[in-house]
Amino acid sequence: MPSLNNDRIAPYVFKRPIYVTKPQLPDLDQYMVALSDIWSVGQVTNSGHQLRHYESKITDYLNIPHACAVVNGHAALESALRALKLTGEVITTPFTFPSTIHAITLNGLQPVFCDIDAESYNIDPAKIEALITKDTSAILAVHVFGTPCNVEALQKIAGKHQIKLIYDAAHAFGTRINGNGIGQFGDMSIFSTHATKVFHTIEGGLVIHKDEKYARPLSQLRNFGYSEKSSDDDVECIGANYKMSELHAAIGLLNLNTIDEQICTRKGLFELFYSKLNKLEGIHIRTYCENVTPNYAYLPILVDPQASGVTRDDIYNNLSQHNVHARKYFYPLCTQLSCYQGFPFYQQTFHIAAKVSNNILCLPIYPALGHNEVNNICNIISSTISASVSHQK
Ligand code: T4K
Instruction: Give per-residue pLDDT as tens, 19-53.
Output: 999 999 999 999 999 999 999 999 999 999 999 99
User: Global pTM?
Assistant: 0.96
Instruction: Answer yes or no: is the C-beta of 258 below 6 A from any ligand 1 atom.
Output: no
Give the count of beta carbons closer than 10 Å to the beta carbon of residue 339: 12
Distance 99 CA to ligand 1 centre (A): 11
- Cα 94 to ligand 1 centre (Å): 18
CA of 194 to the centre of ligand 1 (A): 7
CA dist., res. 300 & res. 327, Å (int): 9
- Cα of 97 vs centre of ligand 1, distance in Å, is 9
- Whole-angstrom Cα distance, residue 107 to residue 161? 22
Instruction: State if residue 329 touches ligand 1 by the CB under 6 angstroms criterion.
Output: yes
Whether 300 lines ligand 1, by a CB cut-off of 6 Å, is no
- Can you tell me the distance from the alpha carbon of 128 to that of 114, in angstroms, rounded to the nearest whole number? 6
Backbone φ and ψ of 301, nearest 5°: -115, 145
Q: What percent of the chain has pLDDT over 70?
A: 96
Q: What is the DSSP string of 80-131?
A: HHHHTT--SEEEE-SSS-HHHHHHHHHTT-EEEE--B-TTT-SB-GGGTGGG
| Residue-wise pLDDT tens digits, 95-130 | 999 999 999 999 999 999 999 999 999 999 999 999
| pLDDT 10s digits, 357-384 | 999 999 999 999 999 999 999 999 999 9
Query: Do residues 125 and 154 make contact, with C-beta atoms less than 8 angstroms apart?
Result: yes
Residue 20 beta carbon below 6 angstroms from any ligand 1 atom: yes
Q: From the CA of 192, how far away is ligand 1's center (Å)?
A: 9
Our answer on whether the CB atom of 196 is closer than 6 Å to any ligand 1 atom is yes
The strand order across the sheet containing 164-168 reads 66-70, 205-209, 188-192, 164-168, 136-142, 89-92, 110-113
The closest-lying atom of ligand 1 relative to the alpha carbon of residue 202 is 49
Q: Is the dihedral of CA 75, 76, 78, 82 positive or negative?
A: positive
Compute φ and ψ for 115, nearest 5 degrees: -70, 165
Amino acid at the residue 340: Y
Q: pLDDT tens across 130-141, in order?
A: 999 999 999 999
Give me ligand 1 centre to Cα 3, in Å.
32
pLDDT at 228 over 80: no
Is the minimum distance from the CB of 355 to ligand 1 under 6 angstroms? no
Whole-angstrom Cα distance, residue 41 to residue 232? 25
